[in-house]
Amino acid sequence: MTQWLAGLNMTSIITQVIIMAAAYLIGSINTAIIVGKLKSNIDIREHGSGNAGMTNTMRTSGKMAGILVMLGDVLKAVIVMVAVMVIFPMNDVLIDGVLYAGRAEYLYIAGAGAVLGHNFPIYFGFKGGKGVLVSLVAILFAHPAIGLAMFLVAIATMAIWRYVSLGSIVGAISAVVFAWILDVDGYLLAYFAFLAVLCLKMHSSNIVRLINGEENKIGRRKAVNS
């Protein structure tokens, strides 16, 4: 965190803005909306739960459509993160006496941008999905062990209580908990906290339904889930 703050010179700031903007634009390519239009000639946001994501697509347009959405969401996040890894050095670098933020910080910025693009896509009226898969990929690239642990916690929660939304929420929160337990860098902890808060915000209606016992479980044909 201290190194990142030290690297806040104009060149570094411009680089970070460019990364955020590029990641946001790529993240805004919402696969669920595109697949819904091509496969069923519908706007997925007007059917089922109204969420432009894998779960609603699978329930509305079938398993194959849901798989395509899953692959698309994962792929765009991978493209963003790999691009940063290829373009930027592994660690912070000192150039002419100036410390520039390195790949780790740029990965966090790229991940946040991709998730924001998915949730609020500029190409589709800023109404997109809830960013669960994109967030998972972003966390896996930032810290593979925590990403894997988060994934297992989410799957276990879904298997036990049969709520996709609950698994997504618990998984996102668990990433912050694991990061705190492992005493990771403060900037990484803040990054995970940002993604968790965003996940909670995007699932606010699901949280209300969970509290009221109205959230549909996995296996039901009609759903109002994430």
Residue 226 counted as domain residue: no
Cα separation, 148 vs 153, whole angstroms: 9
- The domain in which residue 167 lies consists of 2-212
**One digit per residue, pLDDT tens: the chain, 226 residues?**
445 454 556 777 888 999 999 999 999 999 999 999 998 889 999 998 889 999 899 988 889 999 999 999 999 999 999 999 888 866 555 444 444 445 788 899 999 999 999 999 999 999 999 999 999 999 999 999 999 999 999 999 999 999 999 999 999 999 999 999 999 888 899 999 999 999 999 999 999 999 999 998 886 644 333 3
Judge contact between 107 and 143, C-beta under 8 A: no
Q: What is the pLDDT of residue 99?
A: 44
Residue 222 counted as domain residue: no
Residue 217 counted as domain residue: no
Total of domains in the chain: 1
Residue 218 counted as domain residue: no
What residues have CB less than 8 Å from 177, skipping those under 6 apart?
A: none
Residue 220 counted as domain residue: no
Residue 223 counted as domain residue: no
Residue 224 counted as domain residue: no
Alpha helices by DSSP H, the chain: 2-6, 10-27, 31-35, 54-61, 63-87, 103-119, 132-142, 144-161, 164-181, 186-202, 204-212
Residue 72 counted as domain residue: yes
